[in-house]
Amino acid sequence: MADLLISAPRVVPATAGSGVLEPGYVAVTGGEISAVGAGPPPGRVDVELAEGVLLPGFVDLQVNGYFGVEMATADADGWGLVAGRLPETGTTAFLPTYITAPVADLAAELRCAVSLVPALPRGSARVLGVHLEGPFIAPARRGAHNARWIIPPSPEAVGELLSAGPGLLRLVTLAPEAEGALAAIEQLVGAGVMVSVGHSDATGQQVAAAAAAGARMVTHLFNAQRPLDHREPGVTGQALADHRLTSGLIADFHHVSPEACVIAFAAAPGRICLVTDAAASAGMPAGRFRLGGEPIVLPSAEGAPPRRPDGTLAGSALRMDRAVANMVSAGVDLPTVVAAATRVPADLIGRPGLGRLAPGAAADLAWLGSDLRTRGTWIDGERVYP
């Protein structure tokens, strides 16, 4: 891996308290960041960015699909397509996400992924594991999930999934009010799997009990969960108040209004991570696609999310760079937003070597233009886009 020195008008390291370096530079040695600084770079510049901002590559913890491909059912070519093209959006690491399906099907899909991930070509976005969003969720808050496949989290079902994806199953979304859920949280956490509260009608007290059992995340804040009430905080209120919990947020301004997104950032500083919840329709023209093996329709390519035939929201068509631009347009400062798309999710998933521009971190970089659209991406210091 060749050494590299990049200068930019603005650099956002996304480390705690770092702000914006104007101008700044990043030095790369052997695929890792060796120096980050403000002002003129110390030596011959290899890449001089004339405009825009340089920041860590995005870390997306919820990607159902992209570019016409549904991750749960994709073959090696499909996985290669998604992982190879996600850097176009500035994303350099992600969790492929499978929604509710029969446990036997999810186990088979996990076993398949175990063989597919190591075969991804060099320069692909990093697969940090697999996120199972279900099947242990609340029927009343199922959203686009198929009610027929929702089950309680029995030790046997959890064990089957753990056995199918050793070392790969990284995150499970479940409803903590379900029978056996607290024991399942302890079983999953004990096996090194992070647990997120989601698709849940839990009370605030039940969410707090889940956090006490080891849950550390809330899936797509505000969506498919008991909302905040002034006498019952529900999932949303407990997520914002409980310092043990970090919340994913779909900032496409369709799932959540700009005002509610701003409230989330203000109420839970450092505990919001941007996610896309992208479906196979993301990055595609209007048309018909599949999520969880069932039909969804993308009405346009202008950012509106896909829906089930009955009108239910079904994932998104969001890009991570667009999520960042949306939150900046809503008034949240750039360093805070960048951290929510990089360092916060990386730390949450246990990957402190990602999501920041700091010596020793992986040289995963994204260059956004003045419009905050991705202009270039590096993984391990190698240019992978364009």
Active-site positions? Answer: 277
Q: How far apart are CA 48 and CA 25, in angstroms?
A: 9
Contact in structure between 73 and 294 (CB atoms under 8 Å): no
Q: How far apart are CA 376 and CA 216, in angstroms?
A: 33
Contact in structure between 248 and 241 (CB atoms under 8 Å): no
